[in-house]
Chain A
Amino acid sequence: MKLQRKLQQLLKSLIQPLMAVLIGLLTGAVAISLVGASVLETYKVMWDGAFGNFYFVTATLARATPIILIGLGLAIAFRAGVFNMGAEGQMVLGAVSAALAALYVPGSGIIKILAALLAGFLAGGLWSLLAGWMETRFKVQLLISTLLLNYVAVLFAGYLVSRPFQDKSGSAALAQTHMIDQVAWLPKLFQGMSVHMGFVIAIVLAVTLYIILRFTSAGYEVRMLGYNPFFAEYGGINKIKVLLFSMFFSGGIAGLAGTVEVLGSQYRYVEGSLTVPGYAWTGLMAALLANSNPLGTAVAAILLAALQTGAMGMERNTEVPLEIASVIQGVLILFVTAKITMNWWKVKKKAGDIHGAA
């Protein structure tokens, strides 16, 4: 009876994202048939591109790594009831700080790695904390401040790697740092495959966050603040403290996303290497699809990464253009936002009812 109820609840929470994915795929099918290709074959090729053999699976997981971390970071903020839109800036600052730490902190490989992880986490976290502090101190809307701070962060990181810390040794002077010493690289999980230790970090973090949110008093405080800040305050939860902590960890984990990309796959910070693939926005989508459940966010992030790697495979092997993946993603976004808008609308309508005159 109880198990049945739990299963029902699980199913209920899964229906919406699954429907979104299904409708996304159906729309993709329409688009594929419009360009005149076979739907089933194209999807088969896409599937192979994402999960077809061990190499592709690891490539998908490698791509999923920063997306999972971004998603987890955002999930914390969403759970606390704040809309952190600044994952991109937090990630980029984390990445550049990590690269610099790995380059310039003296010591053995492990010390460099730890220093880089710490620097990346702190840079992202403090940047995010700035927005949180402005909200609590001056009532600057977080949604807006985090979004705007992205530009500041990305441009600042760009400046760092095109002026003071630029690697001028190569023939083409790209905007990038020097390459990190090999001892400070995150090890690959399998010889010759692109998935690296960062993926393990991401999964461990997902499980840890799930446990913290579900079973600890800190998690309880975060969730209650997100559900109803008045209730939280009434019950003795320090609203400001919890909000600032949530923002710090939210940004810190986004910073880690940048960090593991630098330490695990690029080995330097290259301008644009994290913003062009749109990791931050894909991570946002993962968190929204999973309704900010950490484990669900990890799964959604892997699915979205698979969609992207699958589309690349599709482009290599068929005439169907890469943009089909964007169509599917676009529909997903549409559905996810439709859900948010619906909820928002419902809440607003209820508030109107309570106040009598609507």
Chain B
Amino acid sequence: MTYVLEMKDMSKKYGDFLANDRISIHLKKGEVLAIVGENGAGKTTLMRMLYGLEQPTSGEIVLNGKTVKFSGPLDAIESGIGMVHQHFMLFSDFSVTENIVIGHEPKRNGFFNRKAAAEKVKELSEHYKINVNPLKKAGDCSIGEQQRIEILKVLFQGADIIILDEPTAVLTPLEVEELLKTIQFLAEQGKSIILITHKLPEVMKVADQITVLRNGKVTGNVLKQQTDVEQLATMMVGRELQKLTDRIQLDGDPLLVVENLTIGGKDAKPILDQLSLTVHRGEIVGIAGVSGNGQSELIQAIAGLRKIDSGNVRLGDSSFSGKTVAYRRNAGLAHIPEDRYLWGAAKEASVEETGLMGYYRKRNFNQSSFIKLNAFRKLVRGWIDRFEIKTPSLDEKSGNLSGGNLQKLIVARELGFETDFLIAAEPTRGVDIGAMEYIHEAIIEKRNNGDGILLVSSELSEILTLSDRIAVMYEGKIVDILDRNEATEERLSVLMAGGNENEASTKTTTTA
């Protein structure tokens, strides 16, 4: 069978840096090709060349047997290649329909024919079983809906080859399920799909063929039937993954105690509703939940970044009521924030300055209010070695670090406080597998040391790997707390969606 798309020996050089080194891929009609690799492996560069956003240094793109050259995305779109970007490109004030037909609006007498457009979008949405409301404003749509709009836009433009760049990064588990179904359906309809991702379980669910990249080179090209997650991970990282340190059984005293925490919302429904939760010493409590169910507010309330309406937070013997962030941090709280750019760092500040946050107040680094920079630099260099943070120097602006390296810096900083308690919110968001191993290892180590950790993550796999107990949040409440050995992804998914816990537990276990 012939290929609809072949990329042969594609190379791309930026100065001395070889981002893509003779990469070849091929794709059949109706096939799903997954391109996997860590951050910086060259996936995005390859796709940018295919989509006409970058010109290859060398190599050839063959589309339906003919060699093509794209000077821009418009050429690519015209040739039937569509791309759904990781960051959506929608006009939030326009309707779903307008966003989909933009650039190819159906006209009547030279004017935009809204009615015809809405009809067409409806047809398209029914044909591909991609559910959207054509008249809704794009800005009012959920992330999942916005992604569906993007996919429909690409289909409307007549794409036969669809590139999906990290499509599941922003989705909830149920939305991911739905997206994977859509991908399979599109492939059955004869569309060819290129899926860029680093999430291997998803790859194993939908891909037919998998190409693995590392450091700009192809390190493997396999069919799904011939491989498994472990093999793919090994090809991605270049070595076998280590097993996490065993957890030591600890029965610690209560450390963080949250009682009846309530934060009112704009409308009648509170954001946090009489929430109570305890984290013991030597325990990791994971919070699972679809984002927007109060997790962020819970973290902020504990950390002192948000006012609460009623309730108590206590850490050991210190009550946090009405206390400042500085007080809480002195009392033994460290905090890996969920959004590293918003809370965790200042882009304009140097690596050293971002690392200094909190330490500048400590006696070891502060002499009559002058900061002891030399002593501190030693500490930061230690972090850089231990976590393999890649930075040209300590004076580099934090904003110039890659997301993963900045995350490692923040994790190192917060672990470095050696506090009794740690909030770890999305500790590995956007970092590659190698860094994830490090961070997970460090968190387990901290737990085994007898410290308490509250873990919040949108990655169920992360929650399941690390947590001793898992609390599921739904609409500002904790609807259930499961023990490590009774939690499964399925059971959590049902609880997260607000499903009945009995329904879930009868399905999975009988002795819960």
Give the interface centre of B138, B344, B346, B393 by most chain A CB atoms within 10 Å.
Answer: B346
Q: Bits for A1-15, please: 1 = Cβ < 8 Å to B, else 0.
A: 010011001000000
The 8 Å CB contact of A358, one of B89, B343, B347, is B89
The 8 Å CB contact of A356, one of B88, B358, B366, B373, is B88
Are B92 and A357 in contact (CB-based, < 8 A)?
yes
Are A227 and B360 in contact (CB-based, < 8 A)?
no
The answer for the CA separation of A48 and B38 in the assembled complex, in Å, is 63
Q: Bits for A232-248, please: 1 = Cβ < 8 Å to B, else 0.
A: 11111110000000000
CB neighbours of B342 from chain A (8 A): 228, 230-231
A-B CB contacts (within 8 Å), total count: 93
- Cβ < 8 Å to B, chain A residues 199-217: 215-217
CB neighbours of A224 from chain B (8 A): 346, 349, 353, 357
Interface pick from B42-50, B203-211, B323-331: B323-331
Q: How many residues of A contact B (CB 8 A)?
A: 27
The answer for the CA separation of A236 and B324 in the assembled complex, in Å, is 7
Which secondary structure dominates where chain A touches chain B?
helix
The answer to whether A220 has its CB under 8 Å from any CB of chain B is: yes
- Across the interface, name the chain B residue whose C-beta is closest to A9: B395
- Across the interface, name the chain A residue whose C-beta is closest to B366: A217
The answer for the CA separation of A304 and B354 in the assembled complex, in Å, is 35
Give the interface centre of A228, A234, A237, A358 by most chain B CB atoms within 10 Å.
Answer: A234
CB neighbours of B349 from chain A (8 A): 223-224, 227-228, 231
The answer to whether B305 has its CB under 8 Å from any CB of chain A is: yes
The answer to whether B87 has its CB under 8 Å from any CB of chain A is: yes
The answer for the CA separation of A54 and B136 in the assembled complex, in Å, is 74
CB neighbours of A2 from chain B (8 A): 393
The answer to whether A218 has its CB under 8 Å from any CB of chain B is: yes
- The verdict on A236 contacting B361 (CB below 8 Å), with A9-B395, A228-B347 known, is yes
CB neighbours of B395 from chain A (8 A): 5-6, 9
The answer for the CA separation of A2 and B392 in the assembled complex, in Å, is 11
- Cβ < 8 Å to A, chain B residues 420-478: none
CB neighbours of B348 from chain A (8 A): 227-228
The answer for the CA separation of A2 and B347 in the assembled complex, in Å, is 22
Are A236 and B90 in contact (CB-based, < 8 A)?
no
- Across the interface, name the chain A residue whose C-beta is closest to B324: A238
Are B325 and A236 in contact (CB-based, < 8 A)?
yes
Are B371 and A215 in contact (CB-based, < 8 A)?
yes
Q: Given A220-B353, A231-B343, A357-B146, list of 11 further CB < 8 A pairs?
A: A5-B395, A217-B366, A220-B371, A224-B349, A228-B348, A236-B324, A236-B328, A356-B88, A357-B88, A357-B90, A358-B92
18 contacts between A and B (CB under 8 A): A215-B370, A215-B371, A217-B360, A217-B361, A223-B353, A224-B346, A224-B353, A231-B349, A231-B354, A234-B325, A234-B335, A235-B325, A236-B324, A236-B325, A237-B325, A357-B138, A358-B89, A358-B90
CB neighbours of A9 from chain B (8 A): 395
- Across the interface, name the chain B residue whose C-beta is closest to A234: B343
